[in-house]
Structure 1
Amino acid sequence: MMSAVLNATDVRKDWGHFIDTVVRVRPQFVKRNRDRFAAVSIEHLRFLLSGYCFKMEYQQEDDGTFTGTLDVFDIAANAPTVEELKRELAKEAVEYANEYMEEFQLYFNAPNRKHHAPYVLNVLIQDDLEGVVGLLDA
């Protein structure tokens, strides 16, 4: 049971205070009719999602390049070096995360993709590609 659930009408009346509280103090829960949702700052969300990282598996090919995959998303890439492979996989992860959000209802309701949601959010809240690369633990 959610305690301290705010009424949406009250939130609208003092929107600025609501945002200040969410960003600087704590997450907030809001109810509008039957609908309930949580508002959380990016800083808090980063902490909550910090465990949702990727394990990169890779192998060196006969031509000297490296091919790798991520353990959660069904993506693969190939690059001349391991560092470049990480960047390529990070780019692919961003592309997949954007696609997931574009078709959220479809992906979230698919049994084999539902568990991707926290990873998708963690990818999307990174400030840049280097942040996504940092989620890869080779």
Structure 2
Amino acid sequence: MRRVLKAADVREQWDQFNDDVIGSGPAFVEKDGREWVAISTGQFDAILNYFVLEAEYFNEEDGSVTFSMVDLDVAENGETKEAALDILVGELFEYAKEYQENFNMYFNSSNRQHHLPYVLKILSCDNKEILKTVVRY
């Protein structure tokens, strides 16, 4: 059973709360009947390790290459495999940014809610080069 802290108590002991989350693990907090979770970035990354950004690639008849994400509605084409991957990674960042900017619409959409962990994984990458290493194909 999870222990839920009151937001007022968290606010009063903010420094200790942060130290506890970082050193001892996630915390559940309730404010005005709504709950949220606080976790460290290390804990966050550990959760996201289970979500793989999987892509398939196809050699087209014209010699170009198309990458298509398995769990996201994103596909891109380029003259070479490397070019197609570069374009795909750029589009993944754009999709994640759009998802974040329109969070309520995307998260509350039955066909896009399951994208959230993948979007968070994309957003956790600092740049395109790191994201390229995360995409599996």
CA RMSD of aligned residues (A): 1.6
For residues 36-77 of structure 1, give each alpha carbon's deviation from its aligned partner in whole angstroms, at most 9, with x where no partner exists.
110111111111011211221111223322111111111111
Q: Equivalent residue for 1:2?
A: 2
Residue matched to 1:98: 97
Distance apart, 1:84 and its partner CA: 3.0
**What are the superposed Cα offsets for residues 89-137 of structure 1, whole Å, 9 maximum, x if unpaired?**
1211111011111111111111111110111111111222222222211
Aligned to 2:118: 119
Counterpart of 1:131 in 2: which secondary structure?
helix
Partners of 1:73 and 1:93 within 8 A in 2: no
Residue 75 of structure 2 aligns with which residue?
A: 76
- The whole-number CA distance in structure 2 between the counterparts of 1:20 and 1:84 is 44
Report the TM-score when normalising by structure 1.
0.89
Aligned equivalents of 2:98, 2:23: Cα separation in 1 = 31
Q: How many residues align?
A: 137
Q: Secondary structure at the match of 1:134?
A: helix
2:130 is aligned with what amino acid?
G
Q: Kindly, what percent of the aligned residue pairs are identical?
A: 37
Amino acid at match of 1:125: S
Contact 1:42 1:125 (C-alpha < 8 Å) held by counterparts: no
Query: TM-score by structure 2 length?
Result: 0.90
How do 1:1-138 and structure 2 match up within 5 A?
1-3=1-3, 5-138=4-137
Bigger mean CA deviation after superposition, 62-71 or 102-111: 62-71
Query: What amino acid is aligned across from residue 32 of structure 1 in structure 2?
Result: K
> Which sections of structure 2, spanning at least 5 residues, go unmatched?
none
